[in-house]
Amino acid sequence: MEGPTGDNRPRTAGGRAGGSGPQDGGVREWQKNTWFGPAPVHSNPFDEPEDAPELKNIRSENVNQHMGDFWAPQTGSFHPPAEPRTQAGKPENRSRSKSRTRKSHRAGLLILLFLAAVVLVLRFAVFTVREIRVTGNNQIPASEIIRISGVRQGDNILSLNEQRIEQRIVSDYRLQFRYMSRELPSAVVLAVREREECCWISYCGIYYVMDKNRMVLHETEDPREKRTDLVEVKGLDIRSNTMVGQVVNLGSEAQQTIFSELFLEMKVLGCTGLIVEADISNPDSILLGTRDGYTVGLGDGQNLHAKLRSMLLVREQLQKMEMAGGTINVSIPETPIYTPSK
């Protein structure tokens, strides 16, 4: 190929830019500082040019001295990275590995779906309320107590809240809550206690029927509806709460204590039906009247259980002796005193 000057002679090293005279060979300005000669033989491309020998001082010795893995002679052809191999030493099939991964994910998803289905079956099919039983009721029908409790067939038996059920039951003044039990997988038992009428009082021309906790269960202004089969309580210092469903508030703390303990002990000993009246106007001198005509002096409110039991034993002996009426003083239960009526 003819050069720019029509001279076919190859340019030599003497034709470097910066030379002068006829050796320039007609080198133009844009061809200066360019190597036109043949490639140097036995030269190291990492050696620095002679016009910048100071760069050798900051080069790594591995480069300057032709050391390291880079300078090791290469034999054979280039090999790509080895493929993953199995334990048997055979190349692993990547598509098969991906297939196994997908199968593993699918199996995990199926297990989760199965567990979810089991939970749903247990919650909505197995542990479902199918039977509700009520114990402890006498006057109030079981169906009404179940309605009050809020428990329904079809509810999840494991999620029933006993505290809320108790609150619903005791909201009816006639009932007391004892406990709730679960008979897995599907039965619920509600144990309640009905408030028992044990006494009555007369206040402001109204007759009030109460239980042993002074809860008003019934009221009437008709004298013909007085509950003469119950104990009439006299001498109470009534202050407030005389409506049905309320606990009568007394002004005397001593009377409150005596009232509760007296009717509790009479229930324990089974003698409530023998008593026709109880006068606790004086907490230090409690008087009872029996239906067969005895007047019983209990003294104060201490040791009421022993005093009532002593009264029952003395009364039994008096009946055997055919001695009716009179006064039985059991303020000292170990030494009761009987005084016949005049």
pLDDT reading at 11 higher than 60: no
Report how far apart the first and last C-alpha atoms of the chain are (Å, whole number).
166
State mean pLDDT over 172-194: 95
Is residue 232 domain-shared with residue 255, that is, in the same domain?
Answer: yes
CATH number at residue 144: 3.10.20.310
Q: Give 223 or 38, the one with higher predicted confidence.
A: 223
Residues 151 and 249 in one domain: no
- Does residue 158 form part of some domain? yes
Residue where a domain stops, chosen among 168, 194, 220: 194
| Residue 303 buriedness (CB in 10 A; 0-12 / 13-18 / 19+) | middle
Reported as a pLDDT band with limits 50, 70 and 90, residue 105 is confident
How confident is the model at residue 112, as a pLDDT?
81
pLDDT of 335 higher than 50: yes
pLDDT digits (tens, 9 = 90+) for 265-321: 999 999 999 999 999 999 999 999 999 999 999 999 999 999 999 999 999 999 999
pTM: 0.62
What sign has the CA pseudo-torsion 80, 82, 83, 89? positive
Spatial distance between the Cα atoms of 295 and 180, rounded to a whole number of angstroms: 44
pLDDT-based confidence at residue 106 (cuts at 50, 70, 90): confident
Q: Are residues 153 and 215 in the same domain?
A: no
Q: What are phi and psi of 235, to 5 degrees?
A: 85, 15
Query: What average pLDDT does the structure give for the chain?
Result: 82
- Residues 6 or more apart in contact with residue 127 via CB below 8 angstroms: 156, 157, 158, 184, 185, 186
Is residue 142 located within the same domain as residue 172?
A: yes
* C-alpha 137 chain-centroid distance: 31
pLDDT above 50 (res 16)? no
Share of residues in the chain with pLDDT > 70 (%): 68
Give the strand pairing for 294-299 and 216-220.
Answer: unpaired
CB 128 within 8 A of CB 156: yes
Pair (224, 304) in one structural domain = yes
Chain segment 218-234, per-residue pLDDT in tens: 999 999 999 999 999 99
| CA dist., res. 304 & res. 296, Å (int) | 12
Cα atoms in the 13 Å half-sphere on the side-chain side of 70: 9
pLDDT tens-digit profile of 47-101? 555 555 665 566 666 655 666 665 566 555 555 555 555 555 555 566 666 677 7
24 within a domain of the structure (yes/no): no
Residue 67 lies in a domain: no
Q: Is the pLDDT reported for residue 156 higher than 80?
A: yes
pLDDT of 99: 73
Share of the chain above pLDDT 90, in %: 61
Number of structural domains found in the chain? 2
Q: Do 306 and 209 belong together in one domain?
A: yes
Question: How open is the CA angle 121-122-126, to the nearest 5 degrees?
Answer: 95
What phi and psi, each to the nearest 5 degrees, are found at residue 39?
-60, 135
DSSP symbols for 1-37? ---TTS--SPP-GGG-TT--GGGGTT--GGGTT---S
Q: Cα(253)–Cα(74) distance, rounded to whole angstroms?
A: 109
Say whether 132 sits in a helix, a strand or coil.
strand
User: Could you report the per-residue pLDDT of 84-93, keeping only the tens digit for each?
Assistant: 555 555 555 6
Angle between helices 162-170 and 142-149 (to 10 degrees): 120
What's the pLDDT score for residue 12?
47
For residue range 247-263, list pLDDT tens digits in order: 999 999 999 999 999 99
How much is the pLDDT for 47?
A: 55
What pLDDT sits at residue 110? Answer: 78
Q: Is pLDDT larger for residue 70 or for residue 324?
A: 324
Containing structural domain, residue 142? 131-194
| C-alpha distance from residue 50 to each of 54, 56, 67, 278 (Å) | 9, 10, 22, 131
Same domain, residue pair 166 and 271:
no
